[in-house]
Chain A
Amino acid sequence: MKYLLLIYQSETAVGTQDDEMRKAVLAEYGAVTAEVKASGHYLAAERLQPIATATTVRVRDGKTLTTDGPFAETREQLAGFYMIDAEHLDDAIAIAARIPSVRFGSIEVRPIWPPPYCE
């Protein structure tokens, strides 16, 4: 079963972390990613650039509307993701609980639709 683990955290809160802390978190991310790869759960993982770089696109009545940033002001922003293959939700939760941001942000665990006709 594939799961997408969406990492949400407050960019402003992360911005106040000092260099040492930031380095430690990054190193921990590296270690967790290596573990997830070693255990065979890893499918993909990426870190997103800050929302200041984001663009939101909509098409309404055939017209493309392009705006700066995400539409809603939310407390936490999407900062990255892991895509994993896990046996069941408990395994996915166990991996989510090891992602460093889980301690100051939150991880949303979303099951991914299986492909059609997989027997």
Chain B
Amino acid sequence: MSSSGWTDLEKLFREERDRILATLIGLLGDFDLAEEMMQEAFVVALDQWPVQGQPENPRAWLVSTARHKAVDRIRRDALHREKLTEVTMEREEAPMPLEGDSSPLTDDRLRLIFTCCHPSLALEGQVALTLRTLCGLTTEEIARVFLVPLPTMAQRLVRVKNKIRSAKIPYRVPPAELLPERLDAVMTTVYLIFTEGYAATGGETLIRGELCSEAIRLGRILVELLPERAEPAALEALMLLHDSRRCARVGSDGEIVLLEHQDRGVWNRGQIEEGIGLLERSLSRGGARCRYALEAAIAAVHAQAASYEQTDWREIAALYSRLLQLHPSPVVQLNRAVAVAMAEGPEFGLRILDDLERQGELQEYHLLPAAQADLLRRMGRFSDAAGYYARAIALVGNGPERRFLERALADASGR
């Protein structure tokens, strides 16, 4: 095969594998069989296309080749089983149906994502299966990302696929009456993948860029396939706006760079523009009450500010207040406190944070004492700040964040 033919097929595999897999799962009703047959179909393509030329509709060709392979496999297995049962009479599962409304022309990725993120599945299972099927990460890669041993992750995937089959979770886009609630679950999973990439909860790297990129890709699928809904566009806007700062958040030494000190020149302008466009689109479709839209609006204010000092902190504080009204959470309150501190002075922000602490909220969350320490530092109360930095260090999980806090502690202690 010519090298360009090879590249073409590789590119096709990268771009189309999720769509082909989604269709095959619909046709075959079995995640593992679908994946195996898809791989076999690509092997056949690798063999035949250089000689016979690439078919007119490569995706349809791959789907139907994989499907024929599956039919052969099922026939062979059925024959095998008949022979077996004559002697053993052991319990066997019924062969899966070979029908369904999937055709190579429909886009089944939405059915796949709603199935992977079904609320009856444990969240960690949802995340793993989504990354495995829609993003094509290997089990090993997913295990590495979540810092669990490979057998643990393999088991998690087996368990979740087994539940889909055994409990008969339907392979479908939920009907209208269930859609809002189920879409919420899907977006939670996608955003969880993003946030895990954006601020890794453990390990030595701050950002796992591949997870951010995969979450953004999933978000794009939702926007593309649910164009009338306001929420997916808001989520995608939020992820793009956050991700636009990815390069600026980590220094050349791998250490954390706060928003305040980031080189705004390296922020990804293309992503910012796309994010703002999607945010406007979401708002025009009634997304104003959506949590992701409000958070994206906050990120947009940052993205458009010339510097940290020139940021419209009043607007940000107002957006956080609105977010707090619609979706109360101590984390939102914490963020609002930081914006209030910038808009009105650190003592006003600190008052909100101290209230949070008194209410016993966020006791395990390192960013509460870290924020208190920062405001105390700004007020010149360095020894108080040092105490809070020490508390934050005791709670923090990942390396760069911990080292950042340790530097801040050393700094405050020396003043």
Listed in ascending order, the chain A residues whose CB lies under 8 Å from chain B are 1, 87-90, 93, 109, 111, 114, 116-119
Contacts and interface: CB of A to CB of B under 8 A. Distances in A.
Q: Which 4 A-B pairs have the closest CB atoms?
A: A88-B170, A116-B91, A88-B168, A111-B167
Contacts of B92: 116-117
B183 to A, nearest CB: 14
Contact of B120 (A93, A116, A118, A119): A93
Prevailing SS type, chain A contact patch:
loop
A89 B94 CA distance: 18
A90 B167 contact: no
B178 interface: yes
B71 to A, nearest CB: 17
Given A90-B170, A90-B178, A114 B94 contact: yes
Contacts of A89: 118, 120, 167-170
Interface string B294-314: 000000000000000000000
B399 interface: no
B3 interface: no
23 contacts: A1-B168, A87-B170, A88-B168, A88-B169, A89-B118, A89-B120, A89-B167, A89-B168, A89-B169, A89-B170, A90-B169, A90-B170, A90-B174, A90-B178, A93-B120, A109-B120, A111-B166, A111-B167, A114-B94, A117-B85, A117-B94, A118-B94, A119-B95
Contact of B168 (A111, A116, A119): A111
A67 to B, nearest CB: 33
Interface core residue of B166, B168, B169, B174 (most chain A CB under 10 Å):
B168
Contacts, number: 31
Interface of B: 85, 91-95, 118, 120, 166-170, 174, 178
Nearest to A117: B92
Contacts of B178: 90
Nearest to B81: A117
A41 to B, nearest CB: 14
A87 B167 CA distance: 11
A117 to B, nearest CB: 7
Contacts of B94: 114, 117-119
A90 B178 CA distance: 9
A93 B91 CA distance: 28
Given A89-B167, A90-B174, A111-B167, 10 more contacts: A87-B170, A88-B168, A88-B169, A88-B170, A89-B120, A89-B169, A90-B178, A114-B93, A117-B85, A117-B92
A119 to B, nearest CB: 6
Contacts of A111: 166-168
A40 to B, nearest CB: 17
Contacts of A1: 168
A12 B349 CA distance: 46
A87 B85 CA distance: 28
B142 to A, nearest CB: 25
Nearest to A90: B170
B230 to A, nearest CB: 24
Nearest to A114: B94
Contacts of A118: 94
A97 to B, nearest CB: 11
Contacts of A116: 91-92
A90 B175 CA distance: 10
Contacts of B91: 116
A7 to B, nearest CB: 18
A43 to B, nearest CB: 16
A116 B81 CA distance: 13
Nearest to B94: A118
A1 to B, nearest CB: 5
Contacts of A117: 85, 92, 94
A71 B95 CA distance: 40
A77 to B, nearest CB: 23
A89 B174 CA distance: 12
